[in-house]
Structure 1
Amino acid sequence: MEQTTYFEDYAIGSTRTTTGRTITETDFVVHAGHTGDFFPHHMDAEFMKSSPFGQRIAHGTMVFAIGVGLTANVINPVAFSYGYDRLRFVKPVFIGDTIRTRTTITAKEDDPKRPNAGRVVERCEVLNQRDEVVLAADHIYVVERRAKAA
C-alpha cells in the first residue's frame, strides 16, 4: 500500500500496531545461517536448559529484523529510513512466541542537511503475546516537506 505522508502530516503521539507473527525453529536456523551466529544461546537446547531462561532465546538481531519487517506494510514515497537509535533487547523471545510491533511518532525536527525535509522519530516497540515489550528502538526517517523551503 502506498501512502504519501509529508513531514507536516506526521502527528506526535500517533500510533499503529502490526499483525502478529509466531517465531519458529525455522526462523532460528535461517537467521543463524544468514548471520553466522550459531551461539549456543540460540542453537543448543541442552546448553540452555541449565540457563536462567531454561530454553533457547531468539537472536536479538532476528527479533529486530522481523519486528521492523512487520511495520513495512505502508510505502511512503517521500520518506526514507535514516537509521535506528537506542536499540534495546528488553526481554527474551522464545520459539512459539508471537510478536507484533507498535509504533508511535515521538518527535519531529528539522533536518540540518536537507532544508526541504525534516526528521521524524518513530518509537518501535516489539511486543510478545503477553503485551510485554521485548525490543525497543527509535526509527528515524527523513521526510520531504510539503512546502519546499525558499
Structure 2
Amino acid sequence: MEGTGYKQVGPQRYRELLGFAFEDFTVGDVFEHRPGRTVTEADNVLMNTLSLNPSPLHLDAAYCAHTPWERPLISSLVTFSVVCGMSVRSTSGRALANLGWDRIRLTHPVFAGDTLYAESRILAKRLSAKRDGEGIVTCETRGLKSTGEVFLTFERSFLVPTRERGVEERAGY
C-alpha cells in the first residue's frame, strides 16, 4: 500500500506520512490502531468539565456505589474521542473534511484503568460527484478493551483528495 509509514526526502532523511490518498483505500482493508490508551479518572473529570457534563454517573463515586456499576463510568465523550482520534493516522489523516458519524453504539462500559485500542475497516469509497479530484471514504471503527471486548462502534465518512489533488507536496508534508 503506497503512502504507509515514511517517504524518503533526501539521503538518509525520511518524512513521516499521515493517512492515505483516495486511491490507496481498498474496501475491506482493516487498520489496527496503535498505540493503545489507558484511560484515567483525570481524563474523565477533564472531559466532563470541558463539555459541561455534570452527570454524577461519571463524577461522583458515592452516587455510583448505588448503581449497577458500583463505580464511575468513563464518559462516552472520552471513549468516543479517544477511539476516533486513534483512527485518524490511518484513515482520515489527509482528509479535507469529516462528513459525519453514523450508527454510534456504546455496547459495554469503560472504567478508569481500562486500556483501549481501535480498529477500522473500510466499508465504501467513491469519487465525489460534486468535487473533482476528491473522494468519499466510509469506515467502521470499533473500540476494543485490552481484553478484546468491543465497547464502541461507529461508522464515519470523510472527504479525501486523490493523489493528483493532494496538498502534501505544496505543504511540505
In structure 2, the partner of 1:114 is 131
Taking the aligned partners of 2:123 and 2:103, their CA distance within structure 1 comes to 13
Unpaired runs of at least 5, structure 1? none
Q: 1:138 aligns with which of 145, 155, 158?
A: 155
Distance 1:49 1:69, change over 3 A: same
Does residue 11 (structure 1) correspond to residue 46 (structure 2)? The answer is no
Which residue identity does 1:15 align to in structure 2? V
Question: Contact 1:120/1:140 (CA < 8 Å) preserved in 2?
Answer: yes
> Structure 1-normalised TM-score?
0.87
Q: Decide which structure has the larger Cα Rg and report it.
A: 2
Q: CA RMSD in A?
A: 2.1
- Per-residue displacement from partner, 1:10-34 (whole Å, max 9, x unpaired)? 1111111122111111111111111
Report % sequence identity: 28
Does residue 129 (structure 1) correspond to residue 146 (structure 2)? The answer is yes
Taking the aligned partners of 1:41 and 1:51, their CA distance within structure 2 comes to 8
Unpaired runs of at least 5, structure 2? 1-15, 166-173
Instruction: Using the TM superposition, give the Cα deviation of residue 95 of structure 1 relative to its aligned residue in structure 2, in angstroms.
Output: 0.7
- Per-residue displacement from partner, 1:82-124 (whole Å, max 9, x unpaired)? 2211112111100111101111111113433324322111111
Distance 1:10 1:55, change over 3 A: same
Q: 1:20 aligns with which of 33, 36, 43?
A: 36
Q: 2:50 aligns with which of 28, 34, 39?
A: 34
Question: Contact 1:127/1:135 (CA < 8 Å) preserved in 2?
Answer: yes
> Structure 2-normalised TM-score?
0.76
Which residue identity does 1:86 align to in structure 2? R
Distance 1:134 1:28, change over 3 A: same
SS in 1 for 2:131: coil
Distance 1:34 1:72, change over 3 A: same
Taking the aligned partners of 1:110 and 1:34, their CA distance within structure 2 comes to 37
Matched pairs, number: 148
Instruction: Using the TM superposition, give the Cα deviation of residue 43 of structure 1 relative to its aligned residue in structure 2, in angstroms.
Output: 0.5
Question: Contact 1:2/1:77 (CA < 8 Å) preserved in 2?
Answer: no
